[in-house]
A and B are shown apart, each in its own frame.
Chain A
Amino acid sequence: MSDIVLETRGLKRRFGAFVATNDVSLTVERGARHALIGPNGAGKTTLINLLTGVLPPSEGQVFLEGEDITGLASFRRVKRGLTRTFQINQLFETFTPLETVCLAIAEREGIAHRLWSAMAGYARVVEEAGDLLARFGLASVMGERTSILPYGKQRLLEIALAFASRPRVLLLDEPAAGVPEDERHEVLSIVADLPKDVTVLLIEHDMDLVFSFATRISVLVAGAVFAEGSVAEIAADPRVKAVYLGENA
């Protein structure tokens, strides 16, 4: 057995009578580029919500580096190195990107409870934020209000923000969703160049991106894991083609 970072056992989530996540047992290896695919409504985002504590599961457990984190609040999971981006931007609209990232870094460094010095007083935090924003191509807009940024820039900030927490496991929920074609390239190259020591679980519809990025793929259908394997195995699996690729072809 190789090194497993993230694992779920028998994870279930019901909304009334509807089972959105049905008995999902998933393992993600350290450093993996793991993709989670499936048709619309397969329960991909619900699964991410369960992993990150946005929703509590109806049954089952989530383990991060061998420890049961099922009952932990989101912010505690982040502290332990598990974070995510959102399919639909979840940003602080009135903040500037700089403020946003500074806060995330301050929280990571455990200084965000301090209420006596201005944020500007923590030069190391601010410098790191400036540096991070530059690396994500946001240097020129770091002082603008987030809500007025172009969508592609907001997407980048979404990823930069998750990154500011220095995750060991990063869940990307359709990072390129809704990004216009001309800004898309920038987002994709960022995703492709994420540091190798960060384990990435990617939810994506774009098959080109999935096949070029992932080393391992899980297919989710109707809330359950339908198939799992290497890229080659999944690409060759006729059942997957039938339920999923066939749809897109």
Chain B
Amino acid sequence: MTMVQQEALVSRQSSDAAAEGRAVRLMKRRSRIRIYEIVIWLAAVAAYFLLPSKMLILTEIAILALFAVSLDLVLGFAGIVSLGHAAFFGVGAYAAGLLALHYTAEPVIGLFVAALVAGLLGFLTSFLILRGSDLTRLMTTLGIGLMMAEVANQMAWLTGGADGLSGFSLNPILGLFEFDLYGKTGYLYCLAVLFVGMMIMRRIAFSPFGLSLKAIKSNPMRAGMISVPARKRVVVVYTIAAMFAGIAGALLAQTTSFVSPDVLAFHRSADVLMVLTIGGTGYLYGGVFGAVLFTLVKDALSVVTPQYWMFWIGLILVVLVLIGRERLNRWAAYLPERLSGKEREQ
């Protein structure tokens, strides 16, 4: 390095046009839409035409995917391990069910109401997870999840208790598309909601806000030292994630015309953690890949051993961890690597 270069190094007036240009190019590339994203959505639409008899399981996948992607905002971005994400899913489902039963059977309004209610719960409970260790957060999220299940159980006059909530049916979506017996409309509806949700979350992921979340996860002390207000950010992202989880719950209630107390069960929170782990955290589409794999495996298992599939799910989890998530996620290495913009410049 010459003396001239050195002098220019820290002086404020001079600017490096080449570096600026390169920085802008790199940043743009970071949030570019990848080919595999397009492939996924095309495949999802193609499934509608190619697999007409599989609408129910496809719907299940779409709902689980939305649920898992919402958890990714909390886990993969903000780094909070939650054992109670089903609380928001369940609350959303009940909200949508009750709305359809008592007020309006318009599905889209149901989604908004579910998002609102679940988001409110997320906002209120987010303050409880701000401090403390991973352990405290596990306790808190698990506790809140169980508490919501207990609330639903105790308020049987409202929720139907252990029998669940039934006896409602939905109007055509926006007055145009009627739910059919084969679940075709249901699938397209869920897919559309998943798509919109995904696009919104994608914007969040690549925004300065999304980056600041990852900073909090990566190194909270340093994040503070570049003035990231960690608590505010966590409150916001937890609320948003709760809203999307609530929407996923609402989709389940609307497409099945039934809300069982199972929507709040612990295993749902554990399942969604697993889904996300299979698919990989921190790049959103992990939730989609995970949902596809998980649903197929679970479906296959419950055919083989209807009563004890839980055992095999558990075994898969144990093996998964022992093999190592990192190693396992390498199969998808091409995808997340590209998404997070780590590729080299040519």
Contact = CB atoms under 8 A, between A and B. Distances in A.
Given A108-B227, A114-B209, A126 B10 contact: no
Nearest to A110: B227
A98 interface: yes
The listed residue with most A CB atoms (<10 A of its CB), out of B10, B18, B208, is: B208
Interface in B1-54: 1, 6-12, 14-16, 18-24, 26-28, 30-31
The listed residue with most B CB atoms (<10 A of its CB), out of A76, A104, A112, A137, is: A112
B211 interface: yes
B281 to A, nearest CB: 12
Contact of A130 (B23, B223, B341): B23
B226 interface: yes
Contacts of B219: 90-93
Contact of B9 (A53, A114, A137, A164): A137
B222 A86 contact: yes
A90 B204 CA distance: 25
A186 B5 CA distance: 11
A119 B208 contact: yes
A75 B16 contact: no
Interface of B: 1, 6-12, 14-16, 18-24, 26-28, 30-31, 203-204, 206-212, 214-215, 218-219, 221-230, 232-233, 236, 240, 340-342, 344-345
Contacts of A29: none
B242 to A, nearest CB: 15
Given A112-B211, A135-B9, A136-B9, A78 B224 contact: yes
Interface string A176-213: 00000000001001100111000000000000000000
B203 A116 contact: yes
30 contacts: A74-B221, A78-B227, A79-B227, A90-B221, A92-B223, A93-B219, A95-B211, A98-B26, A100-B215, A102-B27, A102-B211, A103-B226, A106-B212, A112-B208, A119-B31, A123-B24, A130-B24, A131-B15, A131-B16, A131-B19, A135-B8, A137-B1, A142-B19, A143-B22, A143-B26, A143-B345, A164-B226, A165-B226, A186-B1, A190-B10
A103 B212 contact: yes
Contact of B23 (A91, A129, A145): A129
A134 to B, nearest CB: 4
B214 A92 contact: yes
B207 A115 contact: yes
B19 A118 contact: no
B211 A103 contact: yes
A94 B216 CA distance: 12
B20 A130 contact: yes
B227 A107 contact: yes
A161 interface: yes
B1 to A, nearest CB: 7
Contacts of B9: 135-137, 189-190, 193
B342 A74 contact: no
A47 interface: no
Contacts of A130: 16, 19-24
Contact of A94 (B203, B214, B226, B240): B214
B206 A119 contact: yes
B231 to A, nearest CB: 9
B10 A195 contact: yes
Contacts of A195: 10, 12
A207 B261 CA distance: 69
Nearest to B233: A113
Contact of B208 (A94, A114, A162): A114
Contacts of B23: 98, 102, 126-127, 129-131, 133, 142
A99 B29 CA distance: 12
A75 B211 contact: no
A235 interface: no
A129 B240 CA distance: 29
B226 to A, nearest CB: 4
Given A120-B28, A126-B27, 15 more contacts: A78-B224, A78-B225, A92-B219, A94-B214, A95-B215, A111-B208, A113-B209, A119-B211, A123-B24, A130-B19, A131-B23, A133-B19, A136-B9, A143-B344, A193-B6
A129 B25 CA distance: 12
Contacts of A126: 20, 23-24, 27
